[in-house]
Amino acid sequence: MTAFRLGLTGSIGMGKSTTAAFFAEQNIPVWDADAAVHRLYAPEGAAFQAITRLCPAAATSSGIDRQALKSLIAIDPVALSKIEAIVHPLVAEDRDRFAAECVSDIAVFDIPLLFEKGTEAQMDATLLVTAPPDLQRQRVLSRPGMTEAQFNLILSRQMPDAQKRGLATHIVETLSPEQTRAYVLALVAHIRQSHA
């Protein structure tokens, strides 16, 4: 049985991690793009050697230092595309392996840049998590070490929320954990009913 692929996405601070956790609570496997990159950046990870050759300063005994990569990207306009050329194919391999090994009827793919990278084409449906801009800003700026400038830079690299709303199959406003959990339960029931 092939799992129904649900692409989960949303801009920073919209409640994506919380929403993903509610799917996991229902014993629905969740593939996390950020966790995949973390595995690839580990000392034994598939991206470690290639990234180290590109940015020797990023190599540490515990894996790739993302801060060193950010510093390189800040001074070298082509660094980001070089890093992406190494990492993206490996992330896609990791995602495909997860999908192939999945034994559930539904699988969730937590992908921050789902629409930006065109990955929604590989999904059966998409779920956008969203929240009012003031709530998003409040959540992000309460994170340790986050500054207004960093927040604005991250936003500038992400598709505007309004544009994502136009592309998404399903949308949930994450105003409270209880309401978001209720939405996830209803969506799971809907998918199972529609694709039984």
pLDDT at 1: 57
**In the chain, what are the domains?**
1-29+105-196 (3.40.50.300), 34-101 (no CATH)
pLDDT at 154: 85
pLDDT at 120: 96
Between CA 86 and CA 89 the distance in angstroms is 7
pLDDT at 4: 95
Please report, in tens digits, the pLDDT of each residue of the chain (196 residues total).
579 999 999 999 999 999 999 999 999 999 999 999 999 999 999 999 999 999 999 999 999 999 999 899 889 989 999 999 999 999 999 999 999 999 999 999 999 999 998 999 999 999 999 999 999 999 999 999 899 988 988 888 889 999 999 999 999 999 999 999 999 999 999 999 988 6
Between CA 92 and CA 51 the distance in angstroms is 17
pTM, two decimal places: 0.90
